[in-house]
Chain A
Amino acid sequence: MSILARAEAAEIAARLDPLPGLPAHKRLRGPETGLVMVRGRTGGDGAPFNLGEMTVTRCAVRLADGTVGHGYVAGRDARQAELAALLDALMQDPERRPGLEAAVIGPLERAQADRRASQARKAAATRVEFFTMTQMR
């Protein structure tokens, strides 16, 4: 779920759509956009306080066999929330789960890890290496 929350709808669809035999689903709720109040902590590690809200879109779907899936994603992308809910429902089926892990979740997770690593490498390039007099001697 956390991985789908960080993926764009098109990225998820591109990996999900080619898969054969996906069952139809019915929307139970939404997709609907609302707000979540984001909290911080006083001093970074103290008591919680309300920092401000963020937009969040949620969706609940039901498969033909009755399985219910939920999706909650940051932002206002209705399709992303629905796909997240659909995958949540599909992955509750132990037979389907490994295939979806391999075809959808795994590649998305790797792409996200690559993005994070690239950011980390750019940050590392701006890390200051102090040369003090002692080191220069």
Chain B
Amino acid sequence: MYVATKGGERAIGAAHAWLDETGRGDPALPELTADQVQAQLGLAVDRVMAEGSCHDRGLAALAVKQSRGDLIEAAFLLRAYRTTLPRFGASAPLDTNAMAIQRRISATYKDLPGGQVLGPTFDYTHRLLDFRLAAAGQLPSGAPEAEANNEPTPRVTEMLAREGLMQREAESEAEPGDLTREPLSFPADRALRLQALARGDEGFLLSLGYSTQRGYGGNHPFVGEIRMGEVAVGFTPPELGFEIDLGDITVTECQMVNQFKGSRTEPPQFTRGYGLVFGHGERKAMSMALVDRALRASELGEAAEAPAQQQEFVLSHCDNVEATGFVEHLKLPHYVDFQSELENVRTMRASVEAAK
């Protein structure tokens, strides 16, 4: 056993050196900087911040570079880093209504106050590979500007709620549970579910959201509104005793509007599925909103039979850092466990042979 450990150490050292060399690639090419990753692979950076559950574009960009673009590995690096930092406290809840809008669209109302603002989107591009990008050196022509009229952009959900057609969210300032401090237990309340979904894997939530659309727990969703832009983060340092802004962060919010046929206590109305993520992450915000609404099935008296409606299934498996840890641990030495399995199968075979 001792010999094997020493041998492993040398091999691991060599493997990591090779990893570094491979990660750097052709030394004749200029090295990619974390700043370049942050600026030019911004959506990868945003995804790593969301799933790493730590807003810091510089750290996320470094993690993307270090992980050679493996975004789950990058999220893991960011999660590991955050455990080294003390926590100063919690922010005031973000006021997404006061967002400096870069993008804001609604699929339910064509003409809504504040208008439909497309922002920097892949929508309506032709998805043709742009070979001009392969030949670097050209600067884009620059985004046009137009007179901004600073018209308010009220929430679509609020417009419906004023008519009594949208279920209001519970008014509460209760201290939300925090799954980074207390392990999840079931049933988990909505605040905990939203925290888990906000840091959940985009691919997993996308597939679950898709499954609800295909009939596995359908909830007839419409995109009431998607908005993306900067919001101020307010924080009250105990030594000051009043709220200050720590700065602005970019977030994406999605409000799914869903039919609800009513119950004994509530009239027919619309209900919300809510998605909120760090950075520009529209697909994630939409998926989160679909799954959030699906997970409200029991609360709204709907049958909870589909996978997306079962919170224990969804919340226990949506975290890609946890999932990768358990899946990838299978490749670690299981020599002793396997020896016993081997012994077992040999014994069983021998007894079958003997019985013949």
Interface residues of A (CB under 8 A from B): 1-2, 5-6, 32-56, 58, 60, 70, 72-76, 116-128, 130
Contacts of B85 in A (CB 8 A): 33-35, 55
Q: Which of B55, B147, B239 contacts A38 (CB 8 A)?
A: B55
Using A51-B198, A52-B198, A54-B233 as known contacts, say yes or no to A124 and B87 having CB atoms under 8 A apart. no
B169–A47 touching, CB < 8 Å: yes
Residue B286 is within 8 A (CB to CB) of chain A in the complex: no
Interface size on B, residues (CB 8 A): 85
- Can you add 18 more A-B contacts, CB < 8 Å, to A48-B172, A55-B59? A5-B245, A42-B194, A43-B169, A44-B96, A44-B155, A44-B255, A47-B191, A48-B174, A49-B191, A54-B55, A72-B237, A72-B246, A119-B230, A121-B146, A122-B145, A123-B102, A126-B119, A127-B118
Beta-carbon nearest neighbor of B121 in chain A: A126
Q: How far is the CB of A131 from chain B (nearest CB, A)?
A: 11
Q: Please provide the 10 A-B residue pairs with the shortest distance between their CB atoms, ordered closest to farther.
A: A46-B169, A74-B247, A2-B245, A121-B145, A54-B55, A49-B191, A120-B148, A47-B172, A43-B169, A125-B146
**Chain B 48-59: CB-based contact to A (< 8 A → 1; otherwise 0):** 011001111011
Contacts of A126 in B (CB 8 A): 103, 117-120
Contacts of B146 in A (CB 8 A): 121, 124-125, 127
Q: Which of B47-93 contact A (CB under 8 A)?
A: 49-50, 53-56, 58-59, 82, 85-93
Q: Which of B86, B100, B176 contacts A39 (CB 8 A)?
A: B176
B102–A51 touching, CB < 8 Å: no
Beta-carbon nearest neighbor of A6 in chain B: B247
B54–A55 touching, CB < 8 Å: yes
- In the bound complex, what is the Cα–Cα distance between A30 and B174 (angstroms)? 32
- In the bound complex, what is the Cα–Cα distance between A58 and B246 (angstroms)? 10
Q: Which of A34, A48, A54, A75 contacts B86 (CB 8 A)?
A: A34
- In the bound complex, what is the Cα–Cα distance between A46 and B180 (angstroms)? 22
Q: How far is the CB of B31 from chain A (nearest CB, A)?
A: 22
Using A2-B244, A122-B144 as known contacts, say yes or no to A37 and B54 having CB atoms under 8 A apart. no
Q: In this complex, which of B88, B144, B168, B239 has the most chain A Cβ atoms within 10 angstroms of its Cβ? A: B88
Residue B205 is within 8 A (CB to CB) of chain A in the complex: no
Using A35-B85, A44-B274 as known contacts, say yes or no to A124 and B147 having CB atoms under 8 A apart. yes
B194–A40 touching, CB < 8 Å: yes
- In the bound complex, what is the Cα–Cα distance between A95 and B332 (angstroms)? 67
- In the bound complex, what is the Cα–Cα distance between A124 and B88 (angstroms)? 37
Contacts of A70 in B (CB 8 A): 237, 239-240
Q: Which of B54, B100, B115, B169 contacts A42 (CB 8 A)?
A: B169
Using A37-B91, A41-B93 as known contacts, say yes or no to A52 and B54 having CB atoms under 8 A apart. yes
Q: Which of A33, A41, A124 contacts B145 (CB 8 A)?
A: A124
Q: Which of A51, A76, A123 contacts B58 (CB 8 A)?
A: A76
Contacts of A32 in B (CB 8 A): 86
- In the bound complex, what is the Cα–Cα distance between A87 and B180 (angstroms)? 35
Using A2-B245, A56-B246, A127-B116 as known contacts, say yes or no to A41 and B94 having CB atoms under 8 A apart. yes
Q: How far is the CB of B123 from chain A (nearest CB, A)?
A: 11
Q: How far is the CB of A97 from chain B (nearest CB, A)?
A: 17
Beta-carbon nearest neighbor of B194 in chain A: A49
Residue B199 is within 8 A (CB to CB) of chain A in the complex: yes
Residue B278 is within 8 A (CB to CB) of chain A in the complex: yes
Can you name 25 A-B residue pairings with CB atoms under 8 Å? A5-B244, A6-B245, A37-B178, A39-B93, A40-B194, A41-B96, A41-B169, A45-B157, A48-B175, A49-B194, A50-B179, A50-B195, A52-B195, A52-B199, A72-B88, A74-B248, A75-B58, A76-B56, A116-B100, A120-B100, A120-B150, A121-B147, A124-B147, A127-B115, A127-B117
Using A54-B249, A74-B233, A121-B147 as known contacts, say yes or no to A37 and B87 having CB atoms under 8 A apart. yes
